[in-house]
Structure formats: structure tokens, C-alpha cells
Structure 1
Amino acid sequence: MLGAGYSPFASRGAVAGEVVVYGSRWCGVTMMVRRHLDRAGVPYRFVDWDAAPQARTQLEWLAGGRLASPTVTVGGQILVQPSLRELDWALMRAGYR
């Protein structure tokens, strides 16, 4: 996939659905979310929507027209610019913690 990057923990496999972080490589909040997932040992896939413009269109539809970096999917939930607390809560509900 164009623009996709993978966590070093990706080989562990997903617990209850894949975690995907959509955003821009230059976005500080996206980098913070990715570092948080790395430190927690949560496998995720990163999609850089600057490199994959079709991902932007799909996300606008999924998020009800609100596109913000980062947008994270966890176990079927769509989180638009989640706080780390919101992200941890979604990860816990999906069985990652």
C-alpha cells in the first residue's frame, strides 16, 4: 500500500481488529500517538494520507466529513484526534491492554 508504514511490533498480530493510524508524517500529534502505541507494544499500521490521497477520501466518509490528523481506527471504532486517554480506553475495550 502506498504510504503505509508499520510498527516494529506488527508481527505480534492484532487482538480484536487492526489498529490503523491515519495522518501526516509531519504532524506532531500523529507522531505522539505513534510513539504512544510503540511504547505500549501495540501493533498498528500507519497510513500517510499525503502519500495515499485515496485514504483521505475514505476517511472523510468514515468520519462523517470531519478529517483531522490523526484519525485512528481501533476494533471498529473511529477516533478523530483522540487524546492518549481516549486511545487507551479504546485499546482496552478492544483487548489490547
Structure 2
Amino acid sequence: MAAFGTRSPYARVSTPPITPVVVYGRRWCAISQMVRRYLDRTGMPYQYVDLDLHPDAEARLAWLTGGRVHSPIVSVDGELLVQPIIAELQWVLRKR
């Protein structure tokens, strides 16, 4: 039977790496808040970047997505999801 963690040389169980998730959104955006509430409920750790407070991040996202930024944009291990629905987010998180 396979274990979820692996044994380190010091007999401590190490956990598998966590998928890095970053939510780029706005405080007033309902979809951004819905995504954040979903991640909070599932216990998925994530970083939140408020685009109103970080215009440099918004400019970088505009370049990466090829135009205007539609919030939220969720980065899951480098894959960008623009205005994802919860089912789409679940699918991407499951396949990692």
C-alpha cells in the first residue's frame, strides 16, 4: 500500500509538495470572492494579490493574457485561469 508521505533520513514523514495557487482579483469583484471562499473552505493554501493595490501585477497579467485583465485570474502551478467557475478550478486542482 502506498503512503502519502515519504520517510526522510531523519525518520520524519515529509508531505508531498503543495500546488502553488495565486488568486489575482479585486475586493469588490464577486467572482474573486467566490473563488477565495471556495479555496478557504477546501483548505487549499493560496496567495491573494489585490489588483487595485498592485497595478504592476495587473500590467504583467495583461501582457500574459494578451489584453485587458478580467478578474479574477487564478494561477495554478503557472497555468492561468481567467474568470474560472468553481468546476473549472476543481478540475485543474485535481489534475495536479
Q: Which TM-score band (shorter chain)?
A: 0.7 to 0.9
Match of 1:75 in 2: 77
TM-score (norm 2): 0.79
Q: Separation in 2 of the partners of 1:63 and 1:39?
A: 28
Indicate yes or no: 2:67 matched with 1:55. Answer: no
Match of 2:88 in 1: 86
Query: What is the Cα deviation at residue 14 of structure 1?
Result: 5.6
Q: Separation in 2 of the partners of 1:69 and 1:83?
A: 12
Indicate yes or no: 2:35 matched with 1:38. Answer: no
State, as a whole percentage, how many aligned pairs show the same letter.
52
Q: Point out 4+ residue stretches in structure 1 off by more than 6 angstroms.
A: none
Q: Separation in 1 of the partners of 2:95 and 2:88?
A: 11
Match of 2:18 in 1: 15
* Structure label with greater radius of gyration: 2
Match of 2:12 in 1: none
TM-score (norm 1): 0.78
Query: What is the Cα deviation at residue 41 of structure 1?
Result: 0.7
RMSD over equivalenced CA pairs, Å: 1.8
Unaligned runs of 5+ in 1: 1-12
Which structure has more RCO (C-alpha within 8 Å, separation ≥ 6)?
1
Unaligned runs of 5+ in 2: 1-15
Amino acid at match of 1:26: W
For the Cα contact (< 8 Å) 1:14–1:43, is it kept in 2? no
How many aligned residue pairs are there?
A: 82
